Amino acid sequence: MAVPQDRFYAKTHEWVSLDEGIATVGISDFAQSQLSDLTFVELPEVGTEFVAGDEAAVVESVKAAADIYAPVAGEVIEVNLELEDAPELINQDAFGAGWLFKLKVTNEVEVDNMLDPDSYEELCPVE
Indicate the pLDDT class of residue 127, thresholds 50, 70 and 90: low
Q: What is the CA angle 97-37-16, rounded to 5? A: 40
Contact yes or no for 4/98 (Cβ under 8 A): no
CATH number of 9-108: 2.40.50.100
Neighbours of 39 (CB within 10 A): 14
Indicate the pLDDT class of residue 126, thresholds 50, 70 and 90: low
Contact yes or no for 88/62 (Cβ under 8 A): no
44 in helix, strand or coil?
A: coil
Neighbouring residues of 96: CB distance < 8 A, sequence distance ≥ 6: none
Neighbouring residues of 97: CB distance < 8 A, sequence distance ≥ 6: 82, 89
Indicate the pLDDT class of residue 7, thresholds 50, 70 and 90: very high
For residues 71 and 111, give the distance between their C-alpha atoms in angstroms, rounded to a whole number.
8
pLDDT tens-digit map of 71-119: 999 999 999 999 999 999 999 999 999 999 999 999 888 998 899 999 9
Domains of the chain: which residue ranges?
Answer: 9-108
For residues 29 and 93, give the distance between their C-alpha atoms in angstroms, rounded to a whole number.
8
pLDDT tens-digit map of 23-64: 999 999 999 999 989 999 999 999 999 999 999 999 999 888
DSSP 114: S
